[in-house]
Amino acid sequence: MLLDYFPVFLMAGVVTLVGLFILKISSLLRPANPYPAKRQPYECGVDPVGDASVGQVKIHYFVIAIVFIIFDVETLYLFPWAVVLTDIGLFGYIEMFVFIFLLLVGFIYAWATGALEWQI
């Protein structure tokens, strides 16, 4: 049984060895001349202002992105369901509407809590 997985283990070992080899060669060939300007954080060509580790990040952007991904995944489930609707019958039809209802409840909750409000 374990012999069936030998090619997978062999490939994982070879990939690991090649990766380590490339890292070692690149560490030997890279130039070693760090200077202060090279160690500064890069901000799209603009000189950095303040300390990068202290800056505050607005989390609201990420909440909007997560809500978008959730409803985008819903769309990914709706298209295959529509294709096989005649094959799955009434049970599949009802199950999909339960799924859509649960997503609708989540959407109403996000709307009611103000997660969709964009504040500047």
CATH number for the domain that contains residue 65: 1.20.58
Residue 89 scores a pLDDT above 80: yes
Task: Please say whether the beta carbons of 84 and 92 come within 8 A.
Answer: yes
Provide the pLDDT confidence category of residue 50 given band limits of 50, 70 and 90. Answer: low
Establish if 94 belongs to a structural domain. yes
Q: Closest Cα partner for 73 from 101, 103, 47, 53?
A: 103
Provide the pLDDT confidence category of residue 69 given band limits of 50, 70 and 90. Answer: confident
- Say whether 75 sits in a helix, a strand or coil: helix
CA-based torsion, 19, 20, 21, 26: positive or negative: positive
Task: Please say whether the beta carbons of 71 and 103 come within 8 A.
Answer: yes
The mean predicted confidence, pLDDT, of the chain is 83
Task: Tell me the whole-structure pTM to 2 decimals.
Answer: 0.47
Establish if 119 belongs to a structural domain. no
Query: Where in the sequence is the domain holding 13, given as residue range(s)?
Result: 2-112
Q: How many domains does the chain have?
A: 1
Q: What is the pLDDT of residue 6?
A: 94
Q: 15 or 35: whose pLDDT is higher?
A: 15
